[in-house]
A and B are shown apart, each in its own frame.
Chain A
Amino acid sequence: MFNRNFSVRRLPGFGAIAIFTFVILYLPIVILVVFSFNSGLSQARWEGFSLQWYEAAFNNRQVRDVSIRSLWLALVASGLATVLATLAALGTTRVSRFPGRTMIYALINQPLMVPEIVTGIALLIFVAAIKVQTGYTGMGYLIAAHTAFCIPFAYLPIRARLETMDITLESAAADLYASHWQAFRYITLPLLVPGIVAGFMLGFVISLDTVVITEFVKSAGQDTLPTYMLGQLRRTVTPEMNAIATLFLALSLCIVTAFFLITRKRGA
């Protein structure tokens, strides 16, 4: 069975299935985006190019409100989570095994392992009890919930960066009589920046995406963009929702691309 073109990497049919999978993954998204520019109501019949649904979305006061709330919630929560995760990463890397280390890892990664619905109802119960006691119904609950949920995502790239960093530079700083703080401020921190930026971006995207936890924690009038959309999907959906989803997708795509470029440069 001699075949000049024989490749050990080829498995017949796999390429076709892979292309099929990619098409299936992208086709619905492409349809969603294309029909956000449709002038009619249909999701299948093209009736001409129009920006009317974008106009409708921009003029929809509720959509504006929930988008702004989503964005600043994501900024605040991922900012806090990044600071906390950076400290935690500094505390857990390059240290000898100490009692309770596994416990700390488990706590940090816990939001990843428990289904979101369980965390959601747990927070609902907890928040309801605090509300009864204090009467506070502000955004604090959502900020705390989102921050906790973003910590593991922010922690991963920061810790990865710390672990691959060149430790000799810090030793050199110490040899040159830099204090702990100076070595951290002028050596460790600047080297850590790509990891911190990546962690912040992941946290930001995760906070923007979080539906279930927000749905159960929010008080009246605290809808974010995803919970607003979830509520709207119950009704007859117009392409205005396509327009909103497309803008949302574009934002995520920008962040993910930036994240990809930052982490790739690190590897190179």
Chain B
Amino acid sequence: MAEAPERHGWKWLLCAPALVVLVTAASGPLLIVVAYSFLTPGNMGGVVWEFTLEAWFRVFFRRDIFDPESITFNQAHLTVYWRSVWLSLQTTFICAVLGFPTAWFIATRPPSSRTLWLFLITIPFWTNLLIRTFAIQEVIRNNGTINTVLLQMGVINQPIQMMYTDFAILLGMAYVFMPLMVLPLYAAMDKLDFRLVEAGYDLYASRVQVLWHVILPLVKPGFIAGSILVFIPAIGAYVTPRVLGGGRTMMLGNLIALQFGQGRNWPLGAALAMLMLIIVVGALVFYLRWANREEARNV
């Protein structure tokens, strides 16, 4: 405000303690990961300080054990990357399709009950992701709620195998990340000028036309924010695929963790973690550019 800010030139020093903690326990270690991805794996985990590009090579390719000259794509890794990206996109899509009507529903409630509906969406957002994943597991496992009920009703003779499939991971991720889509969409709809919607109807637009040409363009920032907020934790998911996907259907997060456990290949794990960061940053840049271009076109 009007207060002369330059007198407080020392004020940024107040940030110093927080920055020290953040650099030592969050940002700094990331740089070590970059360094480790160029080192040689030690026998019992850890690294040997010898520079090599082997870890990055093994992110995509594999050498034949008996014939080191023959190089093929590492199919196992490619399958995991593909599954991670595809499941994350599907999760984002499902969250958008269900989240849009939900956010609309909340935004069009009378102000008195709107707070309550908003609160109902916020609760899952702040409750433990592991507990919510556990809740899904109890519903879909072989002797879980769905299978037991269907068996008793005589609809099926033997339990449907849902756990440890891609479907289980997809269901779990859509379930745990849904509030991340609804909240930004709601924020965008809350600011929506309903006179524009009304104008659309006055000009004889159908509901579909109003939805497509008026409402969707106006709440697009909410869609973009929601998609980013869902896609990023989905691509980085570790707990949900570990619990619901088991050991067979891994995602990138589990592949990374594996290298620090049984895999005992820390450099490969570090390189895979960097790959994950590259995907996240790439997705962010793509979304933001696309958003800006659309905005430029609309103006």
**Hey, which bits of chain A sit against chain B, CB under 8 A?**
6, 8-15, 17-22, 24-29, 31-32, 35, 42-45, 80, 84-85, 87-88, 90-92, 94-96, 98, 100-101, 104, 107-108, 110-111, 113-126, 128-129, 144-145, 147-149, 151, 155, 167, 171, 205, 208-209, 211-212, 216, 226, 229-230, 233, 237, 241-242, 245, 248-249, 252-253, 255-256, 259-260, 264
Contact A43 B194 (CB under 8 A): no
Given known A-B contacts A45-B148, A94-B5, A110-B22, A211 and B126 have beta carbons under 8 A apart: no
Assembly CA distance A179 to B138 (angstroms): 60
Within 8 A of A (CB), among B129-175: 129-132, 134-139, 141, 143-145, 147-149, 152, 175
By size class, the interface of chain B is 35 or more
In the bound complex, residues from chain A placing their C-beta under 8 Å from that of B101 are 11, 13-15, 17-18, 21
Contact A91 B277 (CB under 8 A): no
**Hey, which bits of chain B sit against chain A, CB under 8 A?**
1, 3, 5-6, 8-9, 11-15, 17-19, 21-30, 32-33, 36, 46, 98-99, 101-102, 104-106, 108, 115, 119-124, 126-132, 134-139, 141, 143-145, 147-149, 152, 175, 178-179, 182, 194, 197-198, 201, 207, 211, 232-233, 235-236, 238-239, 242-243, 253, 256-257, 260, 266, 269-270, 273, 276-277, 280
Name the distance in Å between A94's Cβ and chain B's nearest Cβ.
Answer: 7
Name the distance in Å between B247's Cβ and chain A's nearest Cβ.
Answer: 10
In the bound complex, residues from chain B placing their C-beta under 8 Å from that of A208 are 128
Contact B18 A117 (CB under 8 A): no
Name the distance in Å between A149's Cβ and chain B's nearest Cβ.
Answer: 7
In this complex, the member of A9, A117, A148 whose beta carbon has the largest number of chain B beta carbons within 10 angstroms is A117
Contact B15 A92 (CB under 8 A): yes
Give the residue name and chain of the A residue nearest to B119 (CB): A260
Name the distance in Å between A261's Cβ and chain B's nearest Cβ.
Answer: 10
Name the distance in Å between B184's Cβ and chain A's nearest Cβ.
Answer: 14
Judged by DSSP, the binding face of B is: helix
Contact B15 A91 (CB under 8 A): yes
Contact B143 A43 (CB under 8 A): yes
Q: 14 new A-B pairs (CB below 8 Å) besides A32-B138, A117-B256?
A: A9-B108, A17-B102, A43-B138, A43-B143, A96-B6, A98-B9, A107-B19, A113-B232, A114-B30, A115-B233, A115-B280, A122-B33, A123-B29, A144-B21
